[in-house]
Structure 1
Amino acid sequence: MNDQWITEHAKAYFQKTIVHRRQLHQHPELSFHEENTAAYLEAELSQMPGMRVKTGVGLETAVIATIHGGDGPTIGIRADMDALPINEANQCLYRSQNEGVMHACGHDAHMAIALSVAHLMSELWQRGELLGTVRFLFQPAEETTDRSGKTGGHYLAASGVLDSLDALFALHVMPEYPLGVVLVPDGYCTANVDEFTAIIKGKGGHGAYPHLSNDPIWMLGAVLQALQGIVSRKTSPLEPAVVSVCHVTAGDGKTNNVIPSEARLQGTFRSYSPEVRAQLVQQFESVLSIVKSLGGDYQLLINHGEPSVYNHQSLTPIMKRAIGRLLPEVCIRPDTFGLGGEDFAHMAARVPSTMFFLGCATEDGVKRDLHAPIFDLDEQSLLIGVTVFAGTILECLHHPEQIPDKKQMTC
């Protein structure tokens, strides 16, 4: 299989890739409710020769498609499916037809890219030139947890669908970067996402007699000041870390002369390494203990969310080689996703994985950020995404010795 075949056939499917993306963009669905999206994916995949499609794996709206071409590795491609509760402000022909719901995080593009890669693998299968197995995992509910605090990535990782995979790849569009830039970072590339609720407990009283109370708002002031030192003075400047207080409440907000008994602050920790993740919680606890010296007490609740995605150090060179050969004009950069979270991490913890990030800024110069009501992308980026995935898959299938052993995973 030569590089010219990949690039030519990716271009041949390009208009269909756009059709897929626009169709999915017009009909977004929220997490755990992707019924019509799943039906569309199942219908498209079922028409591809050689493709075996299963639904309801891990979650009811999950769609798993596998194509087997003989002895060789099994390579996975993951694409998330859900949209966000956002009113789309764009006036394009393919704007959302589902009021209050929008594909503002690019999952429509992720699915469209994966569908076109599936078309390419099906064509190789028909030619008898697919030297292994490729599995496409269309995952619901990346954006939101259910009542048990789990996202779709957690359910698919626990379903057994990853057990036979030798390597797994995913992507995320990046409107902060221009068309023609692809980010392939090594190691940790998205954040550990943890949320906290801290309750500072004092003694309420009359606002005119503060000396008879133990004011939790006064104690809160000391805590907020000390919190600023957790990252700036207690964390290595070489380690990504954030402590953000995003919500503060005290009292009922209806009376101006009552000192409340409690003050509450809520926010998020973000980090990359497991060590810093644990350190942030430990340091936060130390800061909160200040209130005890002031006569108060505290309660700390931590909700541990998604872990950090770890790009395996043996897979990123494979992807970079494929990009260098097939797309020599593309700029490969080592930048990470920043301190945003990604539930692909649950899968990457079980099988050697790599996620790349696809520059897709529009030519109009307008900042169309992720999760914004005006989010959009340059659709030429879809062609790059298809080519990167297809080239990486075939690089793995033709050179299985490059794929790391699951038993030697380090993350």
Structure 2
Amino acid sequence: MPGPDDPDPAGAAGRGDPARGHERTGRSTQQTTGRTPSGSANAQGAHMTQPAPEVMPGLEPPSVPAAGERAEDGGGAAPRPARLAGPGGAALQLQLDAFLARAGESLIGFRRDLHMYPELGYAEHRTTRRIAERLAEAGLRPRILPRGTGLICDIGPEEGPTVALRADIDALPLQDEKDVAYRSTVPGVAHACGHDVHTAMVLGAGLFLAQQARAGLLPGRVRLLFQPAEETPGGALDVMAAGGIAGVDRAFALHCDPRIEVGQLGLRTGPITAACDKVYVKVTGPGGHTARPHLTADLVYALAKIVTELPSALSRRVDPRSSLSLVWGRVAAGSVANAIPDDGIAEGTVRCLDDEAWHRAPEMMKALLHSVAAAYDVEASLEYVRGVPPTVNEAASVQMFRDAAAQVIGDEAAVPTPQSLGGEDFGWYLESIPGALARLGVRTPGSATEYDLHRGDFDVDESCIGVGVRVLTATALTALWDGGRQGESEPVEGAALA
């Protein structure tokens, strides 16, 4: 399908070296698998570029707070991010209106095309090609990731702060159960989590911002991250390994939420999604006859104790506010009623809202497992598979979302949203750089029908795409201007304080 027809300007290639970490501990009694980022990205700290005299009136940068001026919330807090208010907000609205009048239908068509041809994690070759084609048509230079799926694209000048907008592009292994013209044509694969919508929104925001960059209206750089394999997970780490967040000052993402109506943006400071890991416990013993459990190790009883005692013991080793939880999904042992088996297994998930507790969880669980197993004279081994860290939203970045939504949707657009114990690999980015994930309303206002995520009948009110383009665009601009002001006002390291 034809895509948005708005140019333009060429963006610079991504900067920074790839960075990826990989951690594993020995497997005799415990194995911890998973990939972790190798460290924080380097903030650039560059000054923003002031717009040229011919910039459209009203889109000049907001006034810089006077020296010594502080936020009114006290306690030495950082200044509240100023929005592009007044004439600036009005001019931005007009330009977004004009852009979406031209490109809105083709963005919906682009989303429907992705929806009809969904691809699983690390198989998103067609999806990647379609995104790259649209960006190249606008004069941009997308850079495909080394594994061949997912891409990075920079917009605007290298000078000044850099803001990243992220979209995940993979689908789920579910059958599409909707009766719509754009129903999935791939058996057993569907965009049931809204990643096609996320992709269309970031593409639309990128095309609009490219237009702004060509006019000299960007005070820095916007980096588009079209990430593969969010559901697998692991795609975020591939983006990071390719230098995707090197030099990035803040990162933002939207995620569809069918519980929220179109035109609303769900915001939360602090943890918004949880860490999600998988655990595999294997218990072994000599086995024997159920008539003589005292002559062997009663393995089923020991496994039952492990399954019931570990969750409560683990939760009491950390601050209750971390919401660390262990829930079993599969337990199996034995094949007949009168024989004590010689092995058994338990599989489950660990979820957590606190980053420190998440990092401590494997060693705590290993110690507790061995303690319980020793009491019943069985051997127990643990394989702990890292998933994703909690997604912890930075307060200043959440405020940028709030200010942006007020500009381009309305003052009542931002609504509170609850914490979720679901996993989201956007958390990998936020372990290294500040940023925020917000929930975008996709339910038709007034509709009694609700489509939950990860269901075969999931769908959205497609007017949400235009709302998402507006929010992402305004958030990126707000963050660029604010990043420049903060860079200019930071004290020189080592300078004496008054």
TM-score by length of 2: 0.74
Residue of structure 1 equivalent to 2:341: 260
Q: Does 1:357 align with 2:439?
A: yes
**SS of aligned partner of 1:347:** helix
Q: Does 1:381 align with 2:470?
A: no
Alignment check: 8 A CA contact 2:314 2:365 kept? no
Residue of structure 2 equivalent to 1:148: none
**SS of aligned partner of 1:196:** strand
- 1:174 Cα deviation after fit: 1.2
Residue of structure 2 equivalent to 1:156: 239
Residue of structure 1 equivalent to 2:400: 318
Q: In the TM superposition, what whole-angstrom CA distance separates every residue of 1:274-299 from its partner, at most 9, and x where no partner exists? A: 33225544554454322312222321
- 1:85 Cα deviation after fit: 0.9
Q: In the TM superposition, what whole-angstrom CA distance separates every residue of 1:218-238 from its partner, at most 9, and x where no partner exists? A: 112222332352466555443
Residue of structure 1 equivalent to 2:104: 14
**Which aligned pairs between 1:6-405 and structure 2 lie closer than 5 A?**
6-9=95-98, 11-12=100-101, 13-49=103-139, 51-55=140-144, 57-69=145-157, 71-145=159-233, 151-230=234-313, 233-251=316-334, 253=335, 255-278=336-359, 280-281=361-362, 283-288=364-369, 289-328=371-410, 330-362=412-444, 364-401=447-484
Gaps of 5+ in 1: 146-150
Task: Name the CA distance, whole Å, in 2 between partners of 1:201 and 1:361.
Answer: 50
Task: Name the CA distance, whole Å, in 2 between partners of 1:384 and 1:217.
Answer: 55
Alignment check: 8 A CA contact 1:82 1:142 kept? yes
Task: Name the CA distance, whole Å, in 2 between partners of 1:171 and 1:244.
Answer: 28
- 1:67 Cα deviation after fit: 1.8
Percent identity between matched residues is 31
- 1:89 Cα deviation after fit: 0.6
- 1:177 Cα deviation after fit: 2.5
Residue 269 of structure 2 aligns to which amino acid in structure 1? D
- 1:404 Cα deviation after fit: 7.5
Alignment check: 8 A CA contact 1:179 1:360 kept? yes
Task: Name the CA distance, whole Å, in 1 between partners of 2:118 and 2:185.
Answer: 8
Task: Name the CA distance, whole Å, in 2 between partners of 1:194 and 1:314.
Answer: 29
Alignment check: 8 A CA contact 2:162 2:221 kept? yes
**SS of aligned partner of 2:329:** strand
Q: In the TM superposition, what whole-angstrom CA distance separates every residue of 1:288-326 from its partner, at most 9, and x where no partner exists? A: 322312222321221122112232232221221111222
Residue 188 of structure 1 aligns to which amino acid in structure 2? P
Task: Name the CA distance, whole Å, in 1 between partners of 2:135 and 2:416.
Answer: 33
Task: Name the CA distance, whole Å, in 2 between partners of 1:330 and 1:14.
Answer: 23
Which has the higher mean CA deviation after the structures are superposed, 350-359 or 36-45?
A: 350-359
Residue 257 of structure 1 aligns to which amino acid in structure 2? N
**SS of aligned partner of 2:396:** coil
Residue of structure 1 equivalent to 2:50: none
Larger Rg: 2
Task: Name the CA distance, whole Å, in 1 between partners of 2:94 and 2:312.
Answer: 55
Number of equivalent positions? 398
- 1:29 Cα deviation after fit: 0.4
Residue 341 of structure 2 aligns to which amino acid in structure 1? P
